Amino acid sequence: MNYFSTNFTLGILGGGQLGKMMLYETRKWDIRTHVLDPSPEAPCRISTDYFEQGDLMDFETVYNFGKNVDILTFEIEGVNIEALEKLENEGVKVYPSAETLRNIQDKGIQKQFYKEHKIPTAPFKVYKDKNELNEAIVRKELHFPFVWKSCTGGYDGKGVSVIRSATDTIPLSEGACIAEKLIPFKNELAVIVARNPSGEVKTYPVVEMEFHPEANQVEYVICPARINEAVAQKARDLASKVSEAFKHVGLLAVEMFQTEDDEILVNEVAPRPHNSGHYSIEASYTNQFEQQIRAILDLPLGNTDSKVGGIMVNLVGAEGHTGKVVYKNIEKILAMEGVTPHIYGKKETRPFRKMGHVTIVNKDLKEARRIAEGVKKTIEVISK
């Protein structure tokens, strides 16, 4: 099929920053796009051919939107799966498929999937609600500390808590959840896997994630991860196995733990471009967003190697600031070597909201990490 400079239409569910960065690539290749998002100020609005405001969880809205596109993808997991299934049955190509999303959208189902497919993951138990979880604590079936995860709706550190005592469960949300063994680990790693409908598969180099101690958000993504080659290969092989099990098409970000004895455990996955792949825009031969487009259109996958070492710093709203956003000292970081800021286009900031990211590239990863620290200390995302 000829996708370029034609009426072929790619639909994207979700109009946030991931969609916006995907649209850089569709613009580069002149691929027509439609975007659906609930916000009238969605970052995608300025660069898509057609924008529709609507609820991503509403069956009719998603179904009617999908009928007018040739291939449908998504940049957020919170979409109506029944609508995707009906569209697939009527001949619309949905990538990743509704089946893939069904196995990932609910973290309880996702964890059971790993168990069934013999994919190493932390021991866990699923509870139907907070009440059942508390009963398990009273009966001493659960031992502190453990990790609590909401089965649905968690993102950016929300929906995940370390529970060290019975009182820690008080602020938890109601609804289905997982209690997972707290694993002592050396590193949090991630591998992005690309797969097209023809079955071509490529993995990106392993990245290492450094987290903010309070917000449970990634502060730095470092590529390549500072681990030995044998561990890196083990992580890439496991990511490929996970991809094969899910039969996904597009990108799959596989987040992992490297344990004290160098075992690799899968934490969770995201069937879309991911924060851990943003470094690739500046540092890779083929960035993750171009790769997503190549994969879902069944084009040859691009080279996943890095041209240079890359570190990504998330720009999140400063504490104590809510309102119209100001990027304080952005001109100072623009003067630093190898530094590229990306502003997502969200007009309102609030504490810890993801507002952008900055990539630092350098042949010397230690130097890149030093500059990244400087970026983090210099730029502030505040309100007017």
pLDDT at 227: 97
Q: Does 326 share its domain with 219?
A: yes
Q: Does 316 share its domain with 365?
A: yes
Q: What is the CATH number of the domain that holds 226?
A: 3.30.470.20
Question: Residue 53 corresponds to which tokens in the numbers above?
Answer: 């405001």
pLDDT at 101: 97
The verdict on whether residue 268 carries a ligand-binding annotation is: yes
Q: Specify burial of residue 46 (Cβ count, 10 A radius: 0-12, 13-18, 19+).
A: exposed
How large is the average pLDDT for residues 279-296? 98
Q: Does 259 share its domain with 309?
A: yes
pLDDT at 153: 81
Identify the CA nearest to 242 among candidates 265, 263, 262.
Answer: 265
Give the amino acid at 284.
Answer: S
Cβ atoms 225, 208 nearer than 8 A: yes
Longest dimension (CA), the chain: 64
Identify the CA nearest to 194 among candidates 203, 186, 185.
Answer: 203
Boundary of a domain, candidates 140, 164, 181: 181
Name the H helices within 29-106: 59-66, 81-89, 98-105
Boundary of a domain, candidates 51, 77, 94: 94
Q: Does 169 share its domain with 250?
A: no
Q: Does 193 share its domain with 56?
A: no
Q: Give one DSSP letter per residue of 260-273, joined into a string.
A: TTS-EEEEEEESS-
pLDDT at 197: 97
Q: What is the CATH number of the domain that holds 168?
A: 3.30.1490.20
Domain that holds residue 288: 185-383
Q: How many domains is the chain partitioned into structurally?
A: 3
Question: Residue 219 corresponds to which tokens in the numbers above?
Answer: 């502060």
102: in domain = no
Q: Does 154 share its domain with 202?
A: no
Q: What is the pTM of this model?
A: 0.96
The verdict on whether residue 183 carries a ligand-binding annotation is: yes
Q: Does 292 share its domain with 359?
A: yes
Cβ atoms 191, 204 nearer than 8 A: yes
Q: Where residue 157 falls among pLDDT bands split at 50, 70, 90? A: low
Q: Does 191 share its domain with 63?
A: no
Q: Does 191 share its domain with 176?
A: no
C-alpha to C-alpha distance for 124 and 139, rounded to whole angstroms: 17
How large is the average pLDDT for residues 229-245? 98
Q: pLDDT tens for residues 196-231?
A: 999 999 999 999 998 877 766 778 999 999 999 999
133: in domain = yes
For the chain, the average pLDDT equals 96
Q: Does 23 share its domain with 148?
A: no
The verdict on whether residue 130 carries a ligand-binding annotation is: no
The verdict on whether residue 107 carries a ligand-binding annotation is: yes
Q: pLDDT tens for residues 50-59?
A: 999 999 999 9
* Sheet arrangement for strand 32-37: 50-53, 32-37, 9-13, 71-74, 93-94
The verdict on whether residue 182 carries a ligand-binding annotation is: yes
Question: Which residues are 194's β-sheet partners?
Answer: 202, 251
The verdict on whether residue 241 carries a ligand-binding annotation is: no
The verdict on whether residue 46 carries a ligand-binding annotation is: no
Q: Does 377 share its domain with 270?
A: yes
The verdict on whether residue 181 carries a ligand-binding annotation is: yes
The pair phi, psi for residue 205, each rounded to 5°, is: -55, 155
Cβ atoms 52, 29 nearer than 8 A: no
The verdict on whether residue 180 carries a ligand-binding annotation is: yes
